[in-house]
Amino acid sequence: MNQEIIDFNNKNLEGNFYSNRNHVEFSAFEDDYAEAYIDVVEDTLNHNGYVHGGAYTLLCDMASGAAVHSNGENYVTQNMNCNFISTVGSGRITAKARIIKRTHSFAICDVKIYSSDEKLLVSATVTYYRISGKQV
């Protein structure tokens, strides 16, 4: 991957107040692939003591967004379909996002979220619409 694209995406991710406020961190960033995680804290939990569905969807969106922007082009989320398979109330949740199809106008990303013991928690598909050419 082009270092200029990596630097551009890292700058955008670091300046994202929403993801920072919700404790999202990135652990991998490659061509058409990204990993992001949240270390579960009290404000990540719902009233039942489990990770809130919104935290899972945020993590899907952030990881897939990093993967889709790895080519340096500008996309917006068009659709997200999340299947909530299981949940946890503590530990680290990690999203692994991989682009499975990219055309001139859209990209489709497969995202899986795992618990710290590698239990599958969420399986998602995110579709992005390309709104312009190269950002970098």
Residue span of the structural domain in which 19 resides: 3-134
Total domains present in the chain: 1
Cβ proximity of 36 and 59 under 8 Å? yes
Residues 10-28: tens digit of each pLDDT = 666 666 655 656 678 888 8
pLDDT above 80 for 111: yes
Residues 38-51: tens digit of each pLDDT = 999 999 999 999 99
What's residue 15's pLDDT?
Answer: 65
Q: What is the pTM of this model?
A: 0.87
Domain containing residue 70: CATH number = 3.10.129.10
